[in-house]
Each structure stands twice: as C-alpha cells, then as structure tokens.
Amino acid sequence: MKLVRYNQFEPAYPSTFGSLLDKFFNESFVQNSKQFTPAVDISEDEKQYEIHVSVPGMKKSDFQLDLTEGRLTISGERKMEEKKEGKNFHSVETHFGSFSRSFYVPETVNIDNISAAYEDGLLKVVLPKSEKKVNNLKIEVK
C-alpha cells in the first residue's frame, strides 16, 4: 500500500464548478486567508516512508503533527517578521500564514516509532514500516 495524500484537492482549490464560482464571486483575488500550501516530497524504501515538507524560516515549535484514525496531519504557521526598521519591501514572494497537509498512513507503518526532525528549512517525517507478518495458510477445497 502506498502513502498517499489524504485530500487531493486542498481547501484553496475548489473541487466542483459551483464551488469555483462561489470562490470567484465571494472571495478577493488577493489571498486574505493567510494560508499557504508547502511543497511536499514523499519517498519509500523497503524500511520506511519519508515525508519532506519544505517550510523554511520556521522553528521546531511552530509545527504540530497529529495522527488520528490512520490520518497524519502536519500543520503549522509561519509568521511574517514585523520588524521593518527602515526597510521598504519591493517584492515579497515568501508565503506566510498557516498550513495543513494530511496523509493516509498505511497499516504497515509502525506508528509507535514515527519520528520528525526539522533542519535547514525541511521538516522530515519518518514512518518506519513494521515487520511483515507472513501467514502461510493452506486452504482446503471442499
């Protein structure tokens, strides 16, 4: 079983044409919700799954990881620096605000040994696979 995104359509992207029209007419073109969606890379080998979330400029304490009913949710908030002290910004392309990403966790993951580390702007979540239980069973045809 593969580790897949929980919701392919993020809240920022309408899933139906009607919700697209609602979003178009009811929301500003400028993103006022102060939310963003960080880039995520997912890899797998024979021992574990790895989720890499690209969120530079944050602290370890800014993240929340929650595993509920087989769904891993990674969330947090990146706050814009309020110190301006004579600076005039001509361009701000860095995303600020809150984010949340969710993923289904396969049954083969050993949830007691999930770990996370934040280094160099990358949150790395390691989901080790549990030992495969091979049940050899012969079924008699009657």
Which residue would you say has higher pLDDT here, 97 or 129? 129
Per-range mean pLDDT, top range of 23-27, 42-46, 137-141:
42-46
Instruction: Give domain status of residue 8, yes or no.
Output: yes
Q: Which domain holds residue 50?
A: 4-79+94-128
Q: Please tell me the predicted confidence (pLDDT) of residue 87.
A: 76
CA distance 117 to 52: 10
Instruction: Give domain status of residue 99, yes or no.
Output: yes
CA distance 139 to 88: 75
pLDDT band at residue 41 using 50, 70 and 90 as cut-offs: very high
Average pLDDT, integer, range 69-95? 79
Number of structural domains the chain divides into: 1
CATH number for the domain spanning 58: value is 2.60.40.790
Residue 109 forms beta bridges with which residues? 129
Average pLDDT, integer, range 81-104? 78
Q: Could you tell me what percent of the chain has a pLDDT over 90?
A: 37
